[in-house]
Amino acid sequence: MQFAGEIKKLLQKAGVKGETDLSIPPNPAMGDFAFACFNLAKESGANPKATAESLRVKLENLKSGIVEKIEVAGPYVNFFLDTGAIAKLAISDVLKKGKKFGVGEKQKEKVMVEYSQPNTHKEFHIGHFRNVCIGSVLVNLFRSSGYKVISANYIGDIGAHVAKCLWYIKKYQKIVPPTNKGEWLGQMYVEASRAIEENPELKSEAQETQQKLEAGDKELIKLWKETKQWSLQEFKKIYDLLDVKFDAWFYESEVEKPGKNMIGELLKSAVAKTGEGGAVIVDLKEFGLETFLILKSDGTSLYATKDLALAKLKFEKYKIDKSIVVVDSRQSFYFKQLFKTLELAGWKKDLKCVAYEFVRLPEGAMASRTGNVVLFWELYHDVFVSVLKEIKSRHANWKLKIIEKTASRIALSAMKFDMLKHAADKVVIFDKKSALSFDGFTGPYVLYAVARINSILKKARFKGILKEGYELLSAPEEKRLVLMLANFRQVVNEALEQYNPSTVARYCFDLAQQFNDFYNKHSVLKADNKNLIKARLALSASVKQVLENALSLLIIETVEEM
RNA sequence: GCCUCCGUAGUUCAACGGAUAGAAUAUCAGGCUUCGAACCUGAAGAUAGGGGUUCGAUUCCCUUCGGAGGCACCA
């Protein structure tokens, strides 16, 4: 249901070759779609205004049912669509397809999206939360665009950070608390980092622990296995709350050996060589990618050691066509090095690194060491409490169970929306005050519009699709809603093309805002006549449906009432 | 030192090289006996500086200033 597509066809019929890109006029009074004639005029050598006028004359004879009027404004040809006609097409399409409205045609490609990648033995803060949000929305965007998708997680369960944490617990004989062990481990890691920062000579002790661990020290392995589970349980608790699911789980520990084997092969084939102190490196200077370190001089592994093997494992085990990794942009240079190395090794696959910018606080970058960090649970708790208070003041008669369930959904909508409303490639400056605000460009604002619509539909007992009467929709606010509904698929496409969930978040807000505008200017239930009431009910139901579809891409659930 | 990204209302963010640079928030002034005021209406408020390319630049190129990140044993 894309009206822009219809107009493009018209333009082609009228003899326009090449670009038929349309834009939206700055003011709705000027038209619903616009075609700029600059390029066309350039080709023919005529001036743009005259070109626009002669194009209009040609189009006039070809006009189809949905085009009501064509006007020329300077170098632009502006199209006005017939509100009743597009309303009928768009609304019936939305109501007929329901949840499937906006889903694209099946694609052959199988894509793996790897995201979250938390490190065990570390804290889970809102930077990790942003990764989960962006990654899971990308998964949804691919799915909704018809791709087969495997969502993958890659757990950092070994490496220097694990060793550091275990070393600290053992050395200072820390007592394990009975609950929240995962969080406690994160705390231990922070303390360990601090201890080493204060006494740099302790670093060698932690390194020794890593060597022992990688060599298979029994006692350490036992402690590692036990503690690792605590972190994993912690992560799963968070994923459950966020309603995020993974089809594939990879662990650094399972690709460490294959990684080391690969290093051997790379040395043999002379892709890699031995560098300072016996470390293994790949010289990428001729590609402007500096030197890539893939094995430490003490023989222990690095991220790179394992990532080399992981890339292969993904394709072999899951028969995918494309592999996407969602990572903090601070790692994007590293991934360039990694991909180049794989290419030099003769392994050419469709590998993509989607980099998103990190979350920082107004005081500066988040750092556990200095305490300048906002943990996931801390944020959830604060937002939840704030929503809870709000609901209690509005609905004194609600049962506690209902209040808590509603509060949780609203809180999550606020948090997720807050993370997704910024373009992925922009640094987010996290401000607690605005995270706790539920007005304006926020999740709760969108949920509120849905709740309002629910309330109307419930009162009217609206069900189903209308056979006729859509032509009664004629107000400009109604027309804009219809145009926006029809544009949903296009929005999803754009978001996927740019790997940018914020496009969808913005759309949700714009649609909700447009509905509120309509709502305040026109009454649905008290419209002039029965048929208009029905038509407006159908329009409202479609808006609700599309908002729900769009929000579900953002892993946000709506509430019946709030 | 080299490389990358970013500089837009007080603040947080938008704008395939196109018409009058949009929102949100904060501020000020209004709107509930009305389908739910977590809402709506109005006012005021911005492209860091200087060059260039173009019919047209917030967008592309150069430069100055300012901020962030990366560049071999961290992940």
| Phi, psi (deg, nearest 5) at residue A417 | -60, -40
pLDDT-based confidence at residue A423 (cuts at 50, 70, 90): very high
Query: Given a cut of 80, is residue A369 above it in pLDDT?
Result: no
User: Which segments of A345-442 does DSSP mark as H helices, in order?
Assistant: 376-394, 400-420, 432-435
Nearest Cα residue to A308 out of A295, A326, A290: A295
Instruction: Indicate yes or no: strand B within 7 A of the C-beta of A561.
Output: yes
Amino acid A31 CA to nucleotide B56 C1' distance, rounded Å? 22
Contact by Cβ (8 Å): A233, A409: no
Q: Which amino acid is at A262?
A: M
Instruction: Indicate yes or no: strand B within 7 A of the C-beta of A434.
Output: yes
Query: Given a cut of 80, is residue A250 above it in pLDDT?
Result: yes
Q: What is the pLDDT of residue A465?
A: 81
CA geometry: angle A317, A319, A324, nearest 5 deg: 95
CA geometry: angle A447, A451, A455, nearest 5 deg: 170
Contact by Cβ (8 Å): A75, A41: yes
Nearest Cα residue to A554 out of A517, A515, A509, A502: A502
Amino acid A77 CA to nucleotide B15 C1' distance, rounded Å? 21
Contact by Cβ (8 Å): A549, A102: yes
pTM score, whole prediction:
0.95
Interface residues 79-98 of A with strand B (CB < 7 Å): none
Instruction: Indicate yes or no: strand B within 7 A of the C-beta of A273.
Output: no
Instruction: Indicate yes or no: strand B within 7 A of the C-beta of A370.
Output: no
What's the rounded Cα separation, in Å, for the pair A541 and A529? 18
A299 CA: nearest nucleotide by C1'? B73
Give mean pLDDT, residues A164-178.
93
Give mean pLDDT, residues A478-496.
95
From residue A127, how far is each of A133, A157, A184, A245, A491 by CA, in Å? 10, 19, 19, 19, 26
Query: Given a cut of 90, is residue A148 above it in pLDDT?
Result: yes
pLDDT-based confidence at residue A62 (cuts at 50, 70, 90): confident
Instruction: Indicate yes or no: strand B within 7 A of the C-beta of A454.
Output: yes
A494 CA: nearest nucleotide by C1'? B16
ipTM over 0.90: yes
pLDDT-based confidence at residue A113 (cuts at 50, 70, 90): very high
A30 CA: nearest nucleotide by C1'? B19
Q: Give me A405's structure tokens.
A: 């369930």
Residue at shortest CA–C1' distance from B19: A26
> Which letter does DSSP use for residue A471 in this model?
G
- Where are any strands of DSSP class E within A159-277? 248-251, 273-274
Q: What is the pLDDT of residue A199?
A: 87
The string of DSSP codes covering A445-461 is HHHHHHHHHHHHHHHHT
Contact by Cβ (8 Å): A131, A116: yes
> CB under 8 Å to A310, separation ≥6 — which residues?
A154, A250, A255, A259
Q: Choose the weakest-confidence range: A60-69, A245-254, A344-353, A504-513.
A: A60-69
Nearest Cα residue to A449 out of A393, A511, A389, A392: A511
Interface residues 217-236 of A with strand B (CB < 7 Å): none
Amino acid A528 CA to nucleotide B46 C1' distance, rounded Å? 44
From residue A406, how far is each of A193, A249, A384 by CA, in Å? 40, 31, 10
Burial class (CB in 10 A: 0-12, 13-18, 19+), A50: middle
Interface residues 110-139 of A with strand B (CB < 7 Å): 119
How high does pLDDT run on average in chain A? 93
Instruction: Indicate yes or no: strand B within 7 A of the C-beta of A51.
Output: no
How many CB atoms are located within 10 Å of the residue A300 CB?
20
Amino acid A358 CA to nucleotide B57 C1' distance, rounded Å? 29
Amino acid A38 CA to nucleotide B57 C1' distance, rounded Å? 16
Query: Given a cut of 90, is residue A254 above it in pLDDT?
Result: yes
Query: Given a cut of 80, is residue A45 above it in pLDDT?
Result: no
Decide which of A388 and A362 is more confident.
Answer: A388
pLDDT-based confidence at residue A463 (cuts at 50, 70, 90): confident
Amino acid A434 CA to nucleotide B28 C1' distance, rounded Å? 21
Q: Give me A229's structure tokens.
A: 């589970």
Amino acid A496 CA to nucleotide B15 C1' distance, rounded Å? 19
Query: Given a cut of 80, is residue A64 above it in pLDDT?
Result: no
Contact by Cβ (8 Å): A214, A263: no
Instruction: Indicate yes or no: strand B within 7 A of the C-beta of A431.
Output: yes
What's the rounded Cα separation, in Å, for the pair A131 and A419? 9
Nearest Cα residue to A551 out of A427, A446, A399, A459: A446
Instruction: Indicate yes or no: strand B within 7 A of the C-beta of A367.
Output: no
Provide the percentage of residues in chain A whose pLDDT is more than 90: 81
Query: Given a cut of 60, is residue A55 above it in pLDDT?
Result: yes
Query: Given a cut of 80, is residue A161 above it in pLDDT?
Result: yes
Query: Given a cut of 70, is residue A1 above it in pLDDT?
Result: no
Instruction: Indicate yes or no: strand B within 7 A of the C-beta of A520.
Output: yes
Number of H helices and number of E strands within chain A?
20, 14
Contact by Cβ (8 Å): A310, A251: no
What's the rounded Cα separation, in Å, for the pair A152 and A255? 15
Give mean pLDDT, residues A336-359.
94
How many CB atoms are located within 10 Å of the residue A176 CB?
12
Query: Given a cut of 90, is residue A18 above it in pLDDT?
Result: no
> CB under 8 Å to A359, separation ≥6 — which residues?
A126, A127, A130, A366, A419, A427, A428, A430
* Positions on chain B within 7 A of a protein C-beta: 5-6, 11-16, 18-20, 22-26, 31, 35-36, 38-41, 55-56, 68-75
Residue at shortest CA–C1' distance from B3: A288
Q: What is the pLDDT of residue A159?
A: 87
Contact by Cβ (8 Å): A2, A486: yes
What's the rounded Cα separation, in Å, for the pair A88 and A409? 33
What's the rounded Cα separation, in Å, for the pair A425 and A499? 9
Nearest Cα residue to A538 out of A497, A493, A481, A475: A481
Contact by Cβ (8 Å): A320, A309: no
| Three-state DSSP state, A102 | coil
